[in-house]
Amino acid sequence: MALVKIREVLDGCHENEKVTVRGWVYRKREGKTLIFLLVRDATGFIQCTVKKDSPAWGDAERLTIESSLKLEGTAKPDKRAPGGYEITAESIEVIGLAELFPITKDQSEQFIRDLRHLWLRSRRMNLVMKIRDKVMQFSRDFFESQDFTEVSPPMFISAAVEGGSTLFGLKYFDQNLYLTQSSQLYLEILIYSLEKVYCIAPSFRAEKSRTIRHLTEYWHMEGEWPFADMNDLMRFEEELMAHICQQTAEKCKPELEELGVDVSKLASVKTPFPRMTYAEAVELLRKKGATLKWGDDLGYEDEKTLAEEFGKPFFVYDYPTAIKAFYCKTHSDRPEIALSVDMLVPRIGEISTGGAREDDKDKLIKRIEEMGLKAEDYEWYLDLRRYGTVPHVGFGMGLERLLAWMLDLENIIDAIPFPRTTRRFYP
Ligand code: ATP
Ligand code: MG
């Protein structure tokens, strides 16, 4: 008897054939002469019926929700069954009989979130995790198609990439080290050997604020490459984004539909993206009643207001130098404006930040000192400007923010299996 995945049965590959499936009991309904089991495996759910005169009856009776089992029977089309197929069970092997499962219908979000290790079995989380896997794959495909090399940066670092306020410090034998906030500076090292490089790796931020878009540990997709300018950067980012969204719309359609996501929202992400300068953004926001002025950083509410204008991904570029990190290159004739760009999306706001990096050693030292940092902490970084410096650009995109937008997730914590926030670090 063929051991099959539930998806194959639902796809009609085994009509009227005897099959064996392995999985877990998702739901159970018991009648006097018939027991309905909704069995799930990684690929889907199937209704299995057990008749009173079947040798499987006794085992079906004692099965509890979330018990694992092996079930043999005949796969038949049945309009009444969810998915259009059911299996008439002939024998059941109970593998692991479950105790009373704590998650039942109608439980609060809070309760479910506290039982993350069990909630991950839900259909919703199963679908999100599958799409997450695909989104990582589509991202890699795109980078590779553009001749990028994937590299593996360190997580333990000795100096802060940006400000110190969101750094996690840790004891490293008898030294004090930090967890990385971004792999950018390490990618910058590697461009001198590999030119176009990228990574998809964790970044850590000691973010105290509780928002729908901040985690303390998130997956950061970063790219860096030489001999390129801001235009190359924006073009690359929009093409990457369009590739990810279109591939997901095409290859994950059933999963998206089951999650209730409007597939056309993703299919319609096309290049070129709208672009507006920071100054234009400030002007627009002020027209809409905001009180911010040139020089202020855009807050979450500002970003959301801007995003409502476009209703799709877009760029804001040319931010004030003063609100940007020390490594940002500036316009040669307007040092107060940084060559930087954010990608924004509706509801979430910023999902990526990128820019040109300062490639002149003396300007870089000046910037480091202006920001109250010590140039000697950045010796290796300055070496990159001493030996064969080159104009280069790069960006970082938060994978979970991207998914939160793509999948209409209410909160970023549902874009990652084991979210880490100020309050959540178990299991
Ligand atoms: P924000 O202002 O929203 O806190 P940021 O500008 O500090 O973000 P960057 O340093 O620009 O963040 O990081 C690059 C990208 O990484 C961001 O555009 C975002 O997609 C993602 N990111 C940053 N911080 C977090 C976080 N705490 N949780 C999840 N993703 C994050
Ligand atoms: Mg940013």
SS (H, E, C) 79-105: CCCCCCEEEEEEEEEEEECCCCCCCCC
CA dihedral 299, 305, 306, 310 (to 10 degrees): 150
What six digits make up the tokens of 67?
């018990």
SS3 content of the chain, % helix, strand, coil (to 5): 35, 30, 40
Ligand 1 site, residue 218, Cβ cutoff 6 A = yes
Q: Which is it for strands 314-317 and 275-277: parallel, antiparallel or unpaired?
A: parallel
Ligand 1 site, residue 351, Cβ cutoff 6 A = yes
Ligand 1 site, residue 205, Cβ cutoff 6 A = yes
Instruction: Assess whether 8 and 82 both reside in one domain.
Output: yes
The whole-number pLDDT of residue 106 equals 77
Instruction: Assess whether 22 and 130 both reside in one domain.
Output: no
Owning domain of residue 278: 116-415
Instruction: Assess whether 144 and 46 both reside in one domain.
Output: no
Instruction: Assess whether 121 and 223 both reside in one domain.
Output: yes
Does a structural domain hold residue 424? no
Distance CA 314, CA 406 (A): 14
State the ligand closest to the CA atom of 352: 1
Does a structural domain hold residue 75? yes
The whole-number pLDDT of residue 210 equals 84
Instruction: Assess whether 249 and 214 both reside in one domain.
Output: yes
Does a structural domain hold residue 426? no
Q: List all residues 6 or more positions away from 313 whose beta carbon is below 8 Å from its beta carbon.
A: 238, 241, 269, 273, 343, 344, 345, 351
What six digits make up the tokens of 159?
């100096």
Distance CA 327, CA 267 (A): 36
State the ligand closest to the CA atom of 203: 1
DSSP state, 185?
Answer: H
Instruction: Assess whether 65 and 139 both reside in one domain.
Output: no
* Protein residues within 5 Å, CB atom, of ion ligand 2: 353
Contact call for residues 25 and 69 (beta carbons, < 8 A): yes
Q: List all residues 6 or more positions away from 283 whose beta carbon is below 8 Å from its beta carbon.
A: none
The whole-number pLDDT of residue 136 equals 98
Ligand 1 site, residue 398, Cβ cutoff 6 A = yes
Q: How far is CA 74 from CA 172, 402, 407, in A?
A: 59, 42, 36
What six digits make up the tokens of 371?
């920001």
Does a structural domain hold residue 421? no
Does a structural domain hold residue 26? yes
Contact call for residues 134 and 177 (beta carbons, < 8 A): no
Distance CA 273, CA 293 (A): 25
Instruction: Assess whether 89 and 172 both reside in one domain.
Output: no
Q: For atom 8 of ligand 1, which residue has the closest CA?
A: 350
> How many domains, the chain?
2
Does a structural domain hold residue 127? yes
Instruction: Assess whether 92 and 221 both reside in one domain.
Output: no
Instruction: Assess whether 129 and 169 both reside in one domain.
Output: yes
Give every residue of the chain whose pLDDT is below 50, as ranges: none
Task: Identify the helix (H) or strand (E) that includes residue 200.
Answer: strand 197-204
Ligand 1 site, residue 396, Cβ cutoff 6 A = yes
CATH code, 333: 3.30.930.10
Residue 412 CA: nearest ligand 1 atom is: 29
Q: Distance from CA of residue 73 to its chain's centroid?
A: 39
Does a structural domain hold residue 208? yes
Instruction: Assess whether 268 and 387 both reside in one domain.
Output: yes
Contact call for residues 353 and 181 (beta carbons, < 8 A): no
The whole-number pLDDT of residue 164 equals 67
Instruction: Assess whether 150 and 279 both reside in one domain.
Output: yes
Helix (H, G, I), strand (E, B) or coil at 378: helix
CATH code, 36: 2.40.50.140
Ligand 1 site, residue 214, Cβ cutoff 6 A = yes
Distance CA 59, CA 41 (A): 19
Does a structural domain hold residue 327? yes
Instruction: Assess whether 129 and 88 both reside in one domain.
Output: no
Flag whether the pTM goes above 0.85: yes
Per-residue pLDDT tens digits for 390-418: 999 999 999 999 999 999 999 999 999 99
